[in-house]
A and B are shown apart, each in its own frame.
Chain A
Amino acid sequence: AQTVTQSQPEMSVQEAETVTLSCTYDTSESDYYLFWYKQPPSRQMILVIRQEAYKQQNATENRFSVNFQKAAKSFSLKISDSQLGDAAMYFCAYLDSNYQLIWGAGTKLIIKP
């Protein structure tokens, strides 16, 4: 069975700085999809970025980018120019062959003004 591990329960970063959230996963599949979701205090889950495993190029969405290392089964999220609105829980997720999302435990991101 696939598993997703987020080893950082909490991270903090100074406003305007860059922060990287780590995520590792375990799977025997060769083709799959990975996601980062954000859950702000409102608790509305918001898709931040997604990555197809067959693509070697790292996905980028404005200030958000990933470092996808398929061999190492690593999928970290980099947030550049951190803003107060980035404060949230961030969840890494793996889409399995049953179209179900396998979730990591989450990382709470604190932005220091």
Chain B
Amino acid sequence: AQRVTQPEKLLSVFKGAPVELKCNYSYSGSPELFWYVQYSRQRLQLLLRHISRESIKGFTADLNKGETSFHLKKPFAQEEDSAMYYCASMGAQKLVFGQGTRLTINP
């Protein structure tokens, strides 16, 4: 079964500290992987996708097929990064999300 797991419901770090949001996936094939973000009072939106290998707002995510992980990282957190983050996988047109991690950046 296609599944995405985010083990941390809440994560709190200080401004300027490194951030890592964990994501593990399970799928029999090779899914496409994404991170979505929801800022306060805004719609859920795409942050980055594995196939683009991009860095958005200082965030990067590396796919580790051996560990079936797609953790999201940022070396120096900023207060505006506070939001709800969802990891997602797309396999055979089915888009599945994890439980989400609420990231809070403390000043």
Chain B associates with chain A: no
